[in-house]
Each structure stands twice: as C-alpha cells, then as structure tokens.
Amino acid sequence: MANKDHTDPARMEKIVSLCKRRGFIFQAGELYGGLNGVWDYGPLGAELKRNLKDFWWRKTVQERDDVLGMDGSILTMEQVLVSSGHVGGFSDPMSECMLSKVRLRADQVPAQNGRIYWYSGADLLGRKIDREFAVLANFPKEGRNQAEAKAFRFYFDALSPEEQEFVKKFANDNEGLKTLKPIFDREEDVVDTTRFNPANGSLLSEPRDFELMFKTNMGATGDAIAYLRPETAQSIFVQFKNVLDSNRIKLPFGIAQIGKSFRNEINPRNYIFRSREFEQMEIEYFCHPDDGLRLTDEWLETRLSFYEEIGIPREKLHINDIPDGERAFYSKKTYDIEYEFPFGVQELEGVAYRTDYDLGVHQKGAGKPLEYFDEETKQRFLPHVVEPSAGCDRTILALICEAFDEETLTDDKGKEDVRTVLRFKPALAPVKVGIFPLLKKNEEQVRIARGIQKSLQKWMTVSYDDGGAVGRRYRRQDEVGTPFCVTVDFETLGEEKPELKGTVTVRHRDSMEQERMEISALLPWLLERVR
RNA sequence: GCGGGCGUAGCUCAGUGGUAGAGCGCCACCUUGCCAAGGUGGAUGUCGUGAGUUCGAAUCUCAUCGCCCGCUCCA
C-alpha cells in the first residue's frame, strides 16, 4: 500500500530484488564488496537501456529536421570547465558545526570576537573521552557556564546509546552528581576568528574541500589534468560553431547527445536514481533570444509526450515550474519533470532556458566569436539555448517501476496465484518474443521452434526456452516483460486438424490470451508491434 | 559527511558462543497436449571483508566496505 506521501518501500524492495534476480541491474564491483553509487547493467538491463536510448534518438534526431546528433568526449579540458563555472565555483571548502552538524561554507563564516573556552575532553565516571572541543562566547562574564552546557551536550552526543541512558538516569535522579564532566583546558580572547558557528558558538571542523568532479591526469608525466565531464552539455556548447559550420542548418536548431557523465555526489541514494556515473540524454536547442521562452514551453510539451510514448502516463508526472530565486542564476525559466517513484516524487528531466549564458562564457573564455549571423534579418547575435536534459538511468528506473505489476490470478479450483509481470511497452521490452516447443522431447516441434528463432533473431531480441512446463515458461517471460510468446504445438504439426498445420500459438503478456497464426505471418505481425 | 538501522545460498529470511539451515528459484533425469503441476537426484555459502577476544565466533569487540532511513548535498 502506498503511503500518503507516495512512498512504498516494500514495492521498491521487490523491484530491486527482481532487477538483480533476473539480471537487469547489479552493483558495480559487488564481488569485492561494492562501489558506492555505481551500477552495472546486466543482460536484460542493457537491452532495456539500449531500447530507451534508441527510442530517444529516433524521436529526437532521426524524426526531426532541426536536431543533429553528436557524441562528445568524456575527458574534458580544464579550461572548458573553468569557463562554464564548474571549476572553482562548485568545490567550496565546507566546515561542519561540531554541535549541530550543520555544514557551512568556510569562506562565508563571518569573523567573530569573544572568549574561547577550550575543553580537552570529558570524564565519564573516570573514563576519559579524548576529543577536543571549544565554544566561543561573546559575553565573557557569563560565558563559562553556557560554554560548559554546550560542551556537555557535545560530549553527551558522542556517547553510545547505553552510556547516554546511564548518564540520563543520574541526571534525573537529581543527586547533584554529574556523571559526565567536560574537562576545562583553557580560555582565551580572540578577534576576527572564523572557526566558530555564529549560530551557537560551537567549534567548526577543519574546512574540507568537497570535490564534486572527477579529476584525472593526462600525458606521459601526468602533469596535465583533465576532468570527467559533469554533464554532456559542455561539449555541445564548445562544438556549437563546428556543427554550425559543417552543416547547412539555420537557427533554430538543436544538438542532441547521449552519454555518460560523472559527479562525485556526496550521497548517492535510491538505487540507480542518484549515482556517481550516469548517462544523460540532452538537447541543446539554439534559437533567437525572442523565441527562448516560447520554445521552452514547446519543449516541455514535446518531452511530456515522449514519456507518454514510452509508457509513463501523464498523471504520474509532475511539472515543477521552478520559481524565481530558486533557478540557476543564468536561467530565465526552468521546468522539472518529476515522476512518482516508490521512494517519492523525484526529477526525471529538467527543461531549462539557459539564455546565452553558455555560449557567452565560452566566447569570452576562448576569446573566439560564437555569434550567429542571420542572412534574412542581417542580424548578428549570440544564440540563446533551451536545454531539455533527461537522466537516462532515472528513466530506466521509472520504466521499471511503472511496468512492475503483481496480478492475482484465480484458477478453476479457486486457488490464488500471484503473477509478477513487467508491462513494458513492446518497443522498450528487453526481449520481444519468447519461442517455445510445447514439448522439448518432440523433435519436430523443436526443429520448427529453432527455425522460427533463427528467422526472427535478425530482426529482434528473442528468447528460446524449452525448460519445464510451458506455463512456467510464460511466467518467466512475464517477469522480464516479454510482450509475446510463440509456442510450437501439435496443431503446428497438423496432427489432428490438418487445416492448422504451419500455425503457432501466440500468447499475449498482458491479457494472457492466445491466438493462432501462420508461421509466415509472424515476422510482419511482430515488427508492426515491437517498434 | 553526520546520526540510526542492517549485512547468512540467486531471492526472502531463520539461526544469540559448540557439526551452517528453510522456502522459493536454479541444474539433470523422469513425467507433462497451454499458464509457476508432480516425482527423483543435485549444485550453491571463507555467514560482506579484515583484525581481535575465546579451547571454540554467523553469534562478542574494533576497523573497513556496502545497503536502507533521516539530516546534509545535488552546478
């Protein structure tokens, strides 16, 4: 049952389990204990992902006149990311408040004056807790008591739950005993210190750099540094001029790219939803400044229809119109497209109007003009850009979550049975058709089934299975979302009803219904349904 | 990164200091004329990893890795 807040952890657990059991998704390096925030796609996951990327490419590049594809490098020059603002701007040293655990940007802590009370540790009934702590008080006369109370809290928080219970018991007994005593070390007056949290006077931890990009070395000596790209977008901006010059294309037009990006996320969470290595499907759509806002709305609609086409219904999507003040400073309009995952409503894609920020910074950074000259209006200007940027792995997860279904069936005897089925759209399904001989001991059935496998394999992913009863094989295919199964049976051989010779049973995943079909009609029938 | 919870077979889990288990799944054979049938047999684990305590550790201690939840972060 889903909670009010749209979360359903039990459902999510079943999905994760199925994904591993049937080979959709594995944790990277699992054999060695696992690598945090990195995932591998198994055989079926790889098929599903390829289908999604192919479908996106077809809809975005192949079926449009105004979008061209490219495939940029992952290794990225430092200068590119300096211009874009990724280097420098987004690796601020952070300090953490030792009392409240709040994290502050070290360079934004205001300078303060006052008296510092240093504690070298604490005494828990003779046992020494050896951790330094300090409190800054702005009123030296009263400061020591306040400081001591805060120090007490700091050391209390550091205790194990059992020790905390123990200390609490004594405190409540009102015996005047302090079982936990901060050990006062020294006091000093300071001017302009930035090592203390202005909110509570607590000592801050040493500033730490939070490196949000992956850096690597290049060249024989390794002196040159490069970064793994944090987004696919930058290579598009950097190659904008080359694409424009090498293709006879006019504004407005877009450049699309699918590829890996890397962010050293502080805290990867929610299965493959937020990972450190992930794949993006991005479009940078360049246009005249006057058209930016209108095109942003148009792209939002285009993208929403895309999700509908791949099987994510509109009512499960939420559009978040990011208000003024919460958008990136360069963006004039941003929509987040969010999906109701079992762990909450989370972003699938952002459609952002980025103005001319990106081309602007690269034009300045590289010192080369990136302006566009419009022959008709004789205008020269820096194009604006609308960026629909989708997370490929997130969409995969949404597809699986949306497809996952547990259907309760009741047989003739009234016995209940749960059928697990992934209701993928056929175009996305990792396997399009399962092919079975009714009985694997029947050589003729096996021969024909193998022949069907061979003829269909050129066109689509198929799965041949002769293990166990046919009903079990149907259910195995249901569980990985195969939309159709073909069974070669005794009618195929024309044993009792000669008029059925050369026909097979086609079984539908969603309805479990069956129909008979000529073997020769299979390929066109399937091709019509699996694209 | 912080706090809490957890880690035993492919999956779900039982096992609180004394010979590692169950259900499901998987493999083989038999059986099987259309929706997880049945029978027989079988494989699978350094009990996340590494140290320590102990005569003896899945079990106790420490460290480490990973997962989940809450903060935090998310260009």
Q: Phi, psi (5° rounding) for residue A457? A: -55, -30
Nucleotide in closest CA–C1' contact with A35: B66
Residue A207 above 80 pLDDT? no
Whether the CB of A54 is less than 7 Å away from nucleic strand B comes out as no
A162, A352, A425, A465 from A458: Cα distances, Å? 66, 40, 21, 18
Q: Which pLDDT score is estimated for A1?
A: 38
**What is d(CA A99, CA A451) in angstroms, rounded to the nearest whole number?**
71
Structural contact between residues A338 and A318, judged by C-beta atoms closer than 8 angstroms: yes
| Strands ordered across the beta sheet of A103-105 | A103-105, A93-96, A208-209
Which tens digits make up the pLDDT trace of A282-292?
A: 999 999 999 99
Please report the pLDDT score of residue A4 as a whole number: 46
Task: Evaluate if residue A173 carries a pLDDT over 60.
Answer: no
State whether residue A224 is helix, strand or coil. strand
Which chain B positions have some atom within 7 A of a protein CB?
Answer: 1-5, 7, 10-12, 26-28, 31-37, 48-49, 65-75
What's the DSSP call for residue A245?
Answer: H
Vertex A152, ends A150 and A158: CA angle to 5°? Answer: 110
Nearest CA to A113 out of A138, A147, A142 is that of: A138
Mean pLDDT of chain A: 86
**Residue appearing with tokens 């246009």:** A287
Residue A469 predicted with pLDDT over 80: yes
Cβ of A179 near strand B (under 7 Å)? The reply is no
- A396-428: per-residue pLDDT in tens? 999 999 999 988 887 766 677 888 899 999 999
Q: How far apart are CA A228 and CA A251, in angstroms?
A: 30
Higher-confidence position of A218 and A62: A62
Residue A529 half-sphere exposure toward CB, CA atoms < 13 A: 17
Is the Cβ atom of A11 within 7 Å of strand B at any atom? no
Q: Which nucleotide is nearest to A30 (CA to C1')?
A: B66
Helix axes A392-403, A9-21, angle to 10 degrees: 100
| Phi, psi for residue A146 in degrees, rounded to 5 | -60, -45
A10 beta carbon < 7 A from strand B? no
pTM metric for this prediction: 0.83
**Is the pLDDT assigned to residue A325 strictly greater than 90?**
no
Per DSSP, the three-state class of A242 is helix
Q: Is the CB of A100 under 7 A from strand B?
A: no
Ordered alpha helix ranges (H), A269-404? 292-309, 357-366, 392-403
Q: Which pLDDT tens digit goes with each residue over A243-258?
A: 999 999 999 999 999 9
Strand B interface, A 303-342, C-beta < 7 A: 328
Q: SS3 for A115-165, per residue?
A: EEEEEEEEEECCEEECCCEEEEECCHHHHHHHHHHHHHHHHHHCCCHHHHH
Give me A320's structure tokens. 């978040």
> pLDDT confidence of A140, banded at 50, 70, 90?
low
CB A344 within 8 A of CB A319: no
3-state DSSP call for residue A392?
helix
In chain A, % of residues over pLDDT 90: 50
Q: What is the mean pLDDT of residues A20-43?
A: 86
Nucleic chain B contacts, protein chain A, residues 281-300, CB cut-off 7 A? none
Q: Calculate helix-pair angle for A519-530, A443-457, nearest 10 degrees.
A: 40
Q: Predicted ipTM?
A: 0.88
How do strand A180-193 and strand A112-124 relate by DSSP bridges? antiparallel
* Strand ranges in A392-524 using DSSP code E only, listed in sequence order: 404-410, 416-422, 433-437, 462-464, 484-488, 503-508, 514-518
Closest nucleotide to A103: CA versus each C1'? B72
For A245-282, letters b (16+ CB in 10 Å) and e give eeeebebbbbbbbbbebbbbeeebeebbbbbbbbbbbb
A25 CA, B46 C1': Å apart: 26
Which residues of A in 127-166 have their CB below 7 Å from strand B's atoms?
157, 160-161
Q: What DSSP designation does A28 have?
A: T
- Pick from A92-106, A218-232, A504-518 the range whose average pLDDT is largest: A504-518
The 3-class secondary structure across A68-120, one letter per residue, is EEECCCCEEEHHHHHHHCCCCCCCCEEEEECCCCCEEEHHHCCCEEEEEEEEE
